[in-house]
Amino acid sequence: MIHELYAYLRVRDSQRALDFYGKAFGATEKFRLVEPSGRIGHMEMDIAGTTLMISDEFPEYGMKGPQPGDSSPVSMHLHVEDADGLVQRAIDAGATLEMAPQDQFYGERTGVVIDPFGHRWMIGHEIEKLTPQEMQRRYTAMMGKGS
């Protein structure tokens, strides 16, 4: 039986990541495990009651973060009260804007930032409650425009 699902990110500098995630998203450190060399093998952060796990890269074990110039294949989605405000806060903390917040067909206002470590964060808040059927109808209409 599954009890929880945690995001686990690899970064080039876990301490710098903690600083960024603290400024951008209000993360606080729960604990860390550190090698004698100083490399962080495991750190847990709390973001609004949710655990985010990170570690430094361990390339000798094939554990790397996003590489410069490559697009991250994974997006983290933060559901918040004010997407515009949190997107700006993330930018002020050092994130790069990928998409300014805008109203989306699925009933959310969403913006996208890339953190300084190459991880992609979608940040959105609800603007209307929609059924899956209405989202599909809107998606189909939107996708039909380009065909």
Domains of the chain: 1-65 (3.30.720.120), 70-147 (3.10.180.10)
- Residue pair 7/52 in contact (Cβ under 8 Å)? The answer is yes
pTM of the model: 0.91
Residue pointed to by tokens 């009260």: 81
| Residue pLDDT, tens place only, 88-132 | 999 999 999 999 999 999 999 999 999 999 999 999 999 999 999
Which residue type, as a one-letter code, is found at position 79? H
Q: Are 46 and 28 in contact (CB under 8 A)?
A: yes
pLDDT digits (tens, 9 = 90+) for 80-94: 999 999 999 999 999
Q: Is the dihedral of CA 128, 114, 84, 101 positive or negative?
A: negative
Nearest CA-CA partner of 106 in 119, 82, 84, 125: 125
Token digits of residue 20? 């960024």
